[in-house]
């Protein structure tokens, strides 16, 4: 009997390595980084700066390779195209020199430089897959029928890679200021982003769960990383306990789904549900509920938001930027994938739940924010209300809805990294100065930073000519298109309520006068953090004034389910 | 859509309207990059930029083809967000022409007349952004673009009040922002609903173009009424119409002089203009349906504003409340839904911009000298400052509506229109004219007459610069009072087309014709335009 | 009796034989060995640390790190045993997979080692 078993060969899944390139770059990069940094602890002082400078050109090469590898099945075919032209080499050399100079002027640390390089390479790989493979052949499965590569997954993978780059730039100065140098934070962030990419493309509930856990566990540790701040410890613990709780819910939901449909694979689930063979509707409804609870925790939707203010307040500010951008984006990608693809035939069953969640989240996020006096807490609540807005887009359950979610996620990523980036810079050693009063008179001390923060806040409020407005516009468009006018109205009214919160912050920056002992005495802004904030600002305003390209991108980025056969 | 616009418009190679919007905006950016060590340049640069814009508006005014005033001219159209059918579409017709001219003229004067109290760089930058936004609202032919401009003007005004204001400026600025945003939040839903429902009903691609949406009239009656309400709320807050006016006195009182002048001169018109261009044009049936309601609110606003103004002790607050009353006139004129009423309303928008703008400037000058606006602390200013008193007198009389000055023409037309449509409301509204005379003359008497004591006695008169800045106002006041024909004849075809549009699309609606017009020869009074019912295009646009 | 149940019969007999064997050896020992109990002999650990004391006694933090590392490699073994039993079926694919798995774990060990966790100060 046993011998018989041995004889059966195990079916190994067909793997399209190129489709996994962004994931591989981030995860393998993280492992290599931790290995290198634990073997070589300290570099000689005369080597390190040159090594860091060298990372610039290496990154350029890495991006070129990644994009070329990702494009086609024939290894390096994309590269060979470029290689034909001599002009290419001149251009490449120029860009490499420029990159080196940029890295040098940024005065960035080794770990951050490597992380940025990895993030950019992953971004380039995403780009390569998008342009040369997905646009050409359409969506495909990368590992058996477990992991899909489609426009939607690629867009979110790009978002994750971009947030890794920006947060790494923020972390560099922050960790040095807080004397927390070391590769750990970067490694965890890379791993977490890799988990996020798994979530965006997962075609199976179990794979989604794996992704969520990889993403979350790394972030729990990141939240608690500031080991001299008790708030940070508290945040990490709280996030961990509640997150584990949520994971249990999610797993339970997966089990129920399996019970109801006989599979955890989204393709099978979809086929099963749309064929009308479902016996026990109650089981499926329970599964919807449990899955929503699980996802609700990750995206901080009310009533599962209670951890958000405490964790956002306690965790190191750049980590918060990562949590609010990447973690949330990945959570929404997975949520949308599961419900819009797997459960679409039962849209009438899950839609009311999402609608209720959306309304509650919008109201809690905007109303509770008003009474806060700590800016990080305020932004925590505002991130809750943004989750509500995105849920409105999910609730539309249409193509326009998916587009709006994609657009919102991209726009919000840059907005929120910009906002928390500014807070990172101004909050002073130990993240102490984050109360509203600490921002008093900031416009006088740091006019440019205050102006950028104002733009980020107004963008979050949905003022036109910022990406935040177009994002809200698209969501409302989706809601109206599905004829849910009431939801659109609720969303807009709560947006006005949250506008009050953003105005409070702006007022204290421009009208308040600083006390003598205001913590922020105008220490120089770390150049790398300045670069990150500047990029976020440029994207926010750029896509606000000319949203066309991003809108096209978002409307191309549709999720797809491909069966195994 | 392009065919509709392009066929009737002479090809204009230079996108002048786009330039009119972008010039102030780029000017603001230019200010931001100027070095800080030469603060005197800021004002000069800002003035030059706004003067350049004004020159372009002047050119547009001259080149405006009055024979085709009902069609949009100088149209610029570019794709903006292709996937959503949004384009950057700007155009000018007889309705928007004078508001654009007013905007173009007012900003350089404001920049010239008033110095920034502190931090000149952001101050002038914000004013220029404000100009760009206002221009955009008046020129936009795309609902998305319109909303963008309509909302974006909040930001510079918020900062102008908040950073350069007086007294409870933080409160006033926040109240202003939240109030107006609350109004327009629902309008965004309305705008999207209009576009989406139209696209779904007609089967065409999604578009936010004003003309296509207005001409297709694809909304059902109920939908159109609800959506009209969402627009009306946004505009009513901006106008403001009683009872949504409470932000206005606070904003005016605490705003810096420049802010008040722009707020009264241009920004309040964004609402009344919105009613004409978007409310009535897009939803004629709903506009007819809600017209009595809005006329009633307008009339209440006239009386309320007038009575409240009478009781003010702060001169600036008094002028602010008089604005509420004046805008009431514009509202009842607009919703009379006939040529006289709408024309009167439009003219009154320009008049109010000129005269109330000038009043706020003068109040600002008094405040600069005396550091108070309490009427009881002022008195006898005529003796030390005869020039100031004289100018104030003329402007105030224009605001009251003295025949021979501009205010009269507008109010008269408005009341004729309203009388034809809603006779008794018009009668009540007319009493507002009398109260206006009461509060303004009374205020004048208390401020300028009587013995001048203390600081009042030594108050300096207008400087040459201040006097010069008042000249354009006086010229406009007298010219439009004596010879309004050039103004009226350019707006009339557009207004006629709008009324015809309402008549075409609303069953059992006929323009309420003012019988009185046939008895009173308007030309005898003030040459109100020769051809009251010019070429009826039937098509608007 | 079906084939299916018969295979469980094998398991059952195997279990019974095991229990019997243990019983036989323990009983034999009891019969054969001398028996002189005293206090020291009755301690749970005859020559170890005193196992009783205050509830709140503190254990050295280092124990936790070792415990964690131990658990890590313990769990690794759980994964490796079934893999080893079926290695032939997995062929090269399985070999590479396990190499990656062990490499990642090893990385953790290297990291811990370089952090000085393994040093008992």
A538 at interface of B, judged by CB pairs closer than 8 A: no
CATH architecture for the domain at C3-114: Up-down Bundle (1.20)
What is the distance between the alpha carbons of residues B462 and B465, in angstroms, rounded to a whole number?
A: 8
| Cis, bond preceding B95 (omega within 30 deg of 0) | no
Segment holding A68, helix H or strand E? helix A48-71
Model pLDDT, residue A480: 92
Of C93, C104, C110, the CB nearest to A12: C93
A309 at interface of B, judged by CB pairs closer than 8 A: no
Model pLDDT, residue A189: 95
Model pLDDT, residue A5: 55
On average, the pLDDT of chain B sits at 85
A170 vs B385 pLDDT, higher one: A170
The region of weakest confidence among A168-172, A450-454, B66-70, B245-249 is B66-70
| Mean pLDDT, range B150-170, rounded to an integer | 88
Of A403, A470, A496, the CB nearest to B181: A496
Q: Is the pLDDT of residue B407 over 90?
A: no
| Cis, bond preceding A353 (omega within 30 deg of 0) | no
| Mean pLDDT, range B451-462, rounded to an integer | 80
| Mean pLDDT, range C85-109, rounded to an integer | 85
Q: Extract the tokens encoding A76.
A: 């390096």
Buried (b) or exposed (e) across A46-82, using 16+ Cβ within 10 A? eeeeeebbebbbbbbebbbbbbbbbbbeeeeebeeee
| Mean pLDDT, range B489-512, rounded to an integer | 85
| Mean pLDDT, range A239-262, rounded to an integer | 92
The region of weakest confidence among A260-274, A285-299, A321-335, B457-471 is B457-471
* Residues of chain A neighbouring B83 (CB-CB closer than 8 A): 403, 548, 551-552, 555
| Tens digit of each residue's pLDDT (9 = 90 or more) over A189-226 | 999 999 999 999 999 999 999 999 999 999 999 999 88
| Mean pLDDT, range A333-352, rounded to an integer | 90
Indicate the SS3 state at residue C34. coil
- Whole-Å CA distances, B461 to B168, B314, B450, B456, C27: 29, 21, 17, 11, 123
Q: What percent of chain A has pLDDT over 70?
A: 93
* Residues of chain C neighbouring A1 (CB-CB closer than 8 A): 7
With an 8 Å Cβ cutoff, are A503 and B185 in contact? no
At which residue do the structure tokens 């416009």 appear?
A: A443
User: Which chain A residue lies closest to B207 (C-alpha atoms)?
Assistant: A477
Q: What percent of chain A has pLDDT over 90?
A: 49
Model pLDDT, residue B533: 45
User: Which chain A residue lies closest to C94 (C-alpha atoms)?
Assistant: A12
Q: Is the pLDDT of residue A166 over 90?
A: yes
Q: Is the pLDDT of residue B517 over 70?
A: no
Cβ(B460)–Cβ(B385) below 8 Å:
yes
* Residues of chain A neighbouring B143 (CB-CB closer than 8 A): none
Kindly report the nearest CA distance between residue A511 and chain B, in angstroms.
Answer: 7
Of B81, B147, B155, the CB nearest to A548: B81
With an 8 Å Cβ cutoff, are A41 and C114 in contact? yes
Q: Extract the tokens encoding A415.
A: 């907005």
* Residues of chain B neighbouring A511 (CB-CB closer than 8 A): 162-163, 169-170
Of C90, C94, C107, the CB nearest to A34: C107
How many residue pairs bridge chain A and chain B with CB atoms within 8 Å of each other? 90
With an 8 Å Cβ cutoff, are B188 and A492 in contact? yes
Confidence of residue B523 (pLDDT cuts 50, 70, 90): very low
Contacts of B348 (CB under 8 A, 6+ apart): B326, B329, B330, B333, B407, B410, B411, B413, B414
Model pLDDT, residue B65: 84
With an 8 Å Cβ cutoff, are A507 and B181 in contact? no
| Mean pLDDT, range A471-483, rounded to an integer | 92
Cβ(A363)–Cβ(A275) below 8 Å:
no
With an 8 Å Cβ cutoff, are C89 and A6 in contact? yes
| Tens digit of each residue's pLDDT (9 = 90 or more) over A458-474 | 999 989 889 999 999 99
Touch between A and C (at least 3 CB pairs under 8 Å): yes
Decide the pairing of beta strands B73-81 and B86-92.
antiparallel
Domains of chain C by residue range: 3-114
| Tens digit of each residue's pLDDT (9 = 90 or more) over A66-119 | 888 887 666 566 666 666 677 888 888 888 889 988 888 888 888 999 999 999
Kindly list the partner chains of chain B, i.e. chains with 3 or more CB atom pairs below 8 Å. A
The region of weakest confidence among B144-148, B304-308, C45-49 is C45-49
A555 at interface of B, judged by CB pairs closer than 8 A: yes
What is the distance between the alpha carbons of residues A469 and A544, in angstroms, rounded to a whole number?
A: 7
Q: Is the pLDDT of residue B2 over 50?
A: no
Kindly list the partner chains of chain A, i.e. chains with 3 or more CB atom pairs below 8 Å. B, C
Confidence of residue B3 (pLDDT cuts 50, 70, 90): very low
C89 at interface of A, judged by CB pairs closer than 8 A: yes
Q: Is the pLDDT of residue A557 over 90?
A: no
Model pLDDT, residue A73: 63
Model pLDDT, residue B130: 92
Confidence of residue A135 (pLDDT cuts 50, 70, 90): confident
* Residues of chain A neighbouring B149 (CB-CB closer than 8 A): 464
Q: What percent of chain B has pLDDT over 70?
A: 92
Q: Extract the tokens encoding B475.
A: 């010229």
Q: Among B18, B21, B24, B84, which would you mutate to test the A interface (most chain A Cβ atoms within 10 Å of its Cβ)? A: B84
Indicate the SS3 state at residue B282. helix
| Mean pLDDT, range C104-116, rounded to an integer | 85
Domains of chain B by residue range: 293-541
With an 8 Å Cβ cutoff, are A39 and C114 in contact? yes
Q: Is the pLDDT of residue B6 over 50?
A: no
Q: Is the pLDDT of residue B201 over 80?
A: yes
Q: Is the pLDDT of residue A142 over 80?
A: yes
Model pLDDT, residue A7: 55
Provide the sign of the torsion angle of the four alpha carbons B126, B128, B131, B133, taken in this order: negative
Q: Is the pLDDT of residue B536 over 50?
A: no
At which residue do the structure tokens 């004889």 appear?
A: A7
Q: How many Å is the maximal CA-CA distance in chain A?
A: 83
Q: Among A8, A9, A38, which would you mutate to test the C interface (most chain C Cβ atoms within 10 Å of its Cβ)? A: A38
| Mean pLDDT, range A477-501, rounded to an integer | 91
Model pLDDT, residue C83: 87
Kindly report the nearest CA distance between residue B209 and chain A, in angstroms.
Answer: 15
Confidence of residue C106 (pLDDT cuts 50, 70, 90): confident
Q: Is the pLDDT of residue A413 over 70?
A: yes
Nearest to B99, CA basis, from B143, B147, B148, B64: B64
| Mean pLDDT, range A508-519, rounded to an integer | 67
Q: Is the pLDDT of residue A19 over 90?
A: no
Beta bridge partners of A143: A15, A147
Q: Is the pLDDT of residue C58 over 80?
A: no
| Tens digit of each residue's pLDDT (9 = 90 or more) over A150-160 | 899 999 999 99
Of B148, B162, B181, the CB nearest to A499: B181
Q: Extract the tokens encoding A561.
A: 């389910």
Q: Is the pLDDT of residue B521 over 70?
A: no
For residue A7, how many other CB atoms are within 10 A of its CB? 8
B538 vs B324 pLDDT, higher one: B324
What is the distance between the alpha carbons of residues B473 and B489, in angstroms, rounded to a whole number?
A: 21
What is the distance between the alpha carbons of residues B434 and B325, in angstroms, rounded to a whole number?
A: 12
Segment holding A140, helix H or strand E? strand A140-143
CA angle B378, B381, B386 (to 5 degrees): 160
The region of weakest confidence among A271-280, B130-139, B318-327 is A271-280
Helices and strands per DSSP (H, E), number in chain C = 3, 0
Would residue C33 be called left, alpha or beta, if left means φ above 0 and alpha means ψ between -120 and 50 degrees?
A: beta
Model pLDDT, residue A393: 93
* Residue B194: exposure state from Cβ atoms within 10 A (0-12, 13-18, ≥19): buried
Q: Extract the tokens encoding B296.
A: 């009633």
With an 8 Å Cβ cutoff, are C7 and A1 in contact? yes
With an 8 Å Cβ cutoff, are B185 and A496 in contact? yes
With an 8 Å Cβ cutoff, are A489 and B169 in contact? no
Please state the pTM of the whole predicted model: 0.88
Kindly report the nearest CA distance between residue C66 and chain A, in angstroms.
Answer: 19
C107 at interface of A, judged by CB pairs closer than 8 A: yes
| Mean pLDDT, range B22-28, rounded to an integer | 91
Indicate the SS3 state at residue A286. helix
With an 8 Å Cβ cutoff, are A464 and B162 in contact? no
* Residues of chain B neighbouring A474 (CB-CB closer than 8 A): 84
* Residue B377: exposure state from Cβ atoms within 10 A (0-12, 13-18, ≥19): middle
Q: Is the pLDDT of residue A258 over 60?
A: yes
Model pLDDT, residue B451: 83
User: Which chain C residue lies closest to A28 (C-alpha atoms)?
Assistant: C104
Kindly report the nearest CA distance between residue B215 and chain A, in angstroms.
Answer: 21
Q: Extract the tokens encoding B294.
A: 């809005």
Confidence of residue A1 (pLDDT cuts 50, 70, 90): very low
Model pLDDT, residue C2: 75
User: Which chain A residue lies closest to C116 (C-alpha atoms)?
Assistant: A38
Confidence of residue B515 (pLDDT cuts 50, 70, 90): low
Q: Which residues of B touch A (CB under 8 A)?
A: 79-84, 144, 147-149, 151-152, 154-155, 158-159, 162-163, 169-170, 173-174, 177-178, 181-182, 185-186, 188-189, 192-193, 196
With an 8 Å Cβ cutoff, are B185 and A493 in contact? yes
On average, the pLDDT of chain C sits at 83
Confidence of residue C28 (pLDDT cuts 50, 70, 90): very high
* Residue A137: exposure state from Cβ atoms within 10 A (0-12, 13-18, ≥19): exposed
Model pLDDT, residue A414: 94
Q: Is the pLDDT of residue A521 over 60?
A: no
DSSP string over A420-454: HHHHHHHT-GGG---BGGGGTTHHHH-HHHHHHHH
Q: What percent of chain B has pLDDT over 90?
A: 21
| DSSP alpha helix (H) spans, B311-422 | 315-334, 339-370, 386-400, 406-421
Cβ(B92)–Cβ(B74) below 8 Å:
yes
């Amino acid at each position: 009997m046993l011998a018989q078993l041995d004889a059966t060969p195990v079916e190994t899944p067909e793997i399209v390595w190129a489709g996994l390139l962004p994931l591989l770059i981030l995860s393998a990069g993280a492992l290599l980084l931790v290995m290198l940094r634990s073997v070589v602890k300290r570099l000689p002082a005369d080597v390190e700066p040159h090594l860091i400078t060298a990372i610039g050109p290496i990154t350029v090469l890495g991006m070129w390779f990644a994009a070329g590898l990702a494009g086609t099945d024939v290894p390096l075919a994309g590269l060979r195209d470029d290689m034909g032209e001599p002009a290419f080499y001149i251009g490449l050399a120029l860009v490499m020199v420029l990159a080196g100079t940029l890295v040098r002027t940024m005065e960035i640390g080794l770990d951050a430089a490597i992380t940025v390089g990895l993030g950019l390479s992953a971004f380039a790989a995403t780009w390569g897959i998008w342009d040369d493979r997905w646009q050409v052949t359409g969506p495909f499965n990368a590992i058996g029928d477990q992991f899909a590569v489609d426009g939607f997954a690629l867009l979110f993978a790009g978002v994750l890679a971009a947030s890794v780059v920006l947060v790494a730039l923020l972390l560099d100065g922050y960790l040095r200021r807080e004397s927390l140098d070391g590769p750990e934070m970067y490694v965890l962030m890379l791993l977490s982003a890799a988990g996020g990419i798994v979530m965006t493309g997962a075609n199976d509930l179990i794979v989604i769960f794996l992704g969520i856990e990889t993403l979350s566990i790394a972030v729990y540790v990141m939240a608690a990383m500031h080991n001299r701040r008790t708030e940070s410890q508290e945040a990490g613990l709280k996030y961990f306990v509640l997150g584990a709780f949520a994971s249990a819910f999610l797993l339970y939901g997966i089990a129920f789904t399996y019970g109801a449909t006989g599979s955890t694979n989204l393709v099978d689930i979809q086929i099963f549900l749309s064929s009308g063979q479902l016996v026990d509707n109650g089981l499926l409804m329970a599964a919807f509920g449990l899955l929503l609870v699980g996802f609700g925790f990750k995206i901080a939707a009310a009533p599962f938001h209670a951890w958000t203010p405490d964790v956002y307040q306690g965790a190191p500010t750049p980590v918060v930027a990562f949590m609010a951008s990447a973690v949330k984006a990945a959570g929404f990608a997975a949520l949308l994938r599961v419900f819009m693809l797997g459960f679409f035939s039962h849209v009438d069953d899950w839609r009311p739940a999402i609608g209720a969640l959306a309304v509650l989240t919008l109201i809690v996020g905007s109303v509770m924010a008003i009474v806060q006096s700590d800016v990080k807490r305020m932004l925590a609540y505002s991130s809750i209300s943004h989750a509500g807005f995105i849920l409105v887009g999910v609730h539309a359950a249409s193509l326009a809805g998916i587009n709006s979610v994609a657009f919102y996620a991209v726009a919000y990523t840059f907005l929120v990294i910009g906002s928390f980036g500014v807070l990172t810079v101004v909050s002073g050693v130990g993240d102490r100065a984050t109360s509203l009063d600490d921002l008093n008179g900031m416009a006088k001390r740091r006019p440019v930073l205050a102006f950028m923060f104002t733009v980020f806040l107004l963008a979050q409020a949905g003022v036109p000519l910022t990406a935040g407005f177009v994002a809200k516009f698209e969501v409302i468009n989706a809601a109206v298109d599905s004829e849910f006018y009431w939801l659109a109205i609720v969303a807009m009214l709560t947006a006005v309520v949250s506008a009050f919160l953003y105005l409070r912050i702006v007022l204290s920056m421009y009208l308040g006068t600083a006390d003598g002992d205001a913590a922020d005495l105008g220490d120089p802004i770390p150049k790398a953090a300045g670069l990150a904030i500047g990029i976020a600002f440029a994207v926010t305003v750029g896509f606000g004034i000319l949203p066309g390209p991003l809108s096209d991108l978002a409307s191309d980025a549709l999720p797809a389910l491909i069966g195994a056969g | 859509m392009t065919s509709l616009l392009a066929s009737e418009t002479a090809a204009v190679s230079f996108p002048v309207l786009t330039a009119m919007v972008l010039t102030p905006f780029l000017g603001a950016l230019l200010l931001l990059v100027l070095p800080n060590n030469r603060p005197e340049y800021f004002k000069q640069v800002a003035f030059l930029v706004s003067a350049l814009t004004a020159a372009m508006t002047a050119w547009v005014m001259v080149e405006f083809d009055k024979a085709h005033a009902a069609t949009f001219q100088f149209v610029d159209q570019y794709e903006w967000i292709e996937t959503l059918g949004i384009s950057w579409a700007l155009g000018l017709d007889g309705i928007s022409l004078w508001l654009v001219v007013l905007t173009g003229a007012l900003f350089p004067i404001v920049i010239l007349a008033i110095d920034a109290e502190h931090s000149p760089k952001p101050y002038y930058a914000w004013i220029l952004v404000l100009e760009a936004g206002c221009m955009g609202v008046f020129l936009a032919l795309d609902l998305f673009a319109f909303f963008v401009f309509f909302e974006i003007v909040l930001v510079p005004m918020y900062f102008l009040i908040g950073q350069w204001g007086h007294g409870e400026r933080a409160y006033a600025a926040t109240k202003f922002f939240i109030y107006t945003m609350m109004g327009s939040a629902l309008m965004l839903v309305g705008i999207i609903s209009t576009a989406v429902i139209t696209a779904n009903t007609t089967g065409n691609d999604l578009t936010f173009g004003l003309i296509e949406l207005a001409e297709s009239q694809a909304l059902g009656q109920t939908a159109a009424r609800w959506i009209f309400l969402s627009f009306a709320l946004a505009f009513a807050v901006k106008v403001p119409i009683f009872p949504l006016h409470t932000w206005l006195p606070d904003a005016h009182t605490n705003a810096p002089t420049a802010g008040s002048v722009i707020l009264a001169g241009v920004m309040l018109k964004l609402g009344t203009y919105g009613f004409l261009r978007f409310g009535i044009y897009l939803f004629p049936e709903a506009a007819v349906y809600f017209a009595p309601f809005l006329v009633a609110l307008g009339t209440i606003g006239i009386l309320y504003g007038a009575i409240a103004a009478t009781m003010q002790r702060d001169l600036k607050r008094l002028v602010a409340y008089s604005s509420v009353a004046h805008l009431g006139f514009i509202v009842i004129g607009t919703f009379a839904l006939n040529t006289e009423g709408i024309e009167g309303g439009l003219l009154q928008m320009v008049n109010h911009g000129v005269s109330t703008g000038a009043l706020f400037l003068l109040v600002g000058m008094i405040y600069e000298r005396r550091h108070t606006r309490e009427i009881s602390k002022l008195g006898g200013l005529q003796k030390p400052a005869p020039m100031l008193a004289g100018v104030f007198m003329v402007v105030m009389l224009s605001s009251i509506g003295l025949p021979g000055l501009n205010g009269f023409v507008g109010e008269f037309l408005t009341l004729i229109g309203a009388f034809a449509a809603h006779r008794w409301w018009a009668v009540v509204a007319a009493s507002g004219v009398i109260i206006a005379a009461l509060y303004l003359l009374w205020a004048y008497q208390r401020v300028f007459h009587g013995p001048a004591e203390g600081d009042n006695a030594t108050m300096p008169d207008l400087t040459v610069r201040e006097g010069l800045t008042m000249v354009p106002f006086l010229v406009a006041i007298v010219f439009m009072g004596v010879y309004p024909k050039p103004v009226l004849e350019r707006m009339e075809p557009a207004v006629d087309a709008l009324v015809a549009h309402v008549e075409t699309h609303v069953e059992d609606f006929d323009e309420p014709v003012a019988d009185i017009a046939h008895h009173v020869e308007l030309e005898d009074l003030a040459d109100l335009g020769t051809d009251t019912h010019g070429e009826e295009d039937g098509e608007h646009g | 009796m079906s084939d299916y149940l018969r295979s469980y019969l094998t398991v059952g007999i195997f279990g019974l034989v095991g229990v019997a064997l243990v019983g036989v050896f323990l009983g034999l020992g009891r019969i054969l060995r001398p028996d002189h109990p005293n206090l020291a002999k009755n301690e749970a650990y005859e020559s170890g640390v005193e196992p009783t004391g205050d509830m709140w006694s503190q254990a050295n933090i280092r124990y936790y790190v070792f415990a964690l590392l131990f658990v890590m490699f313990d769990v690794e073994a759980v994964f490796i045993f079934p893999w080893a039993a079926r290695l032939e079926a997995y062929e090269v694919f399985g070999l590479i997979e396990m190499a990656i798995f062990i490499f990642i774990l090893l990385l953790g060990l290297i990291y811990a080692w370089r952090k000085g966790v393994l040093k008992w100060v």
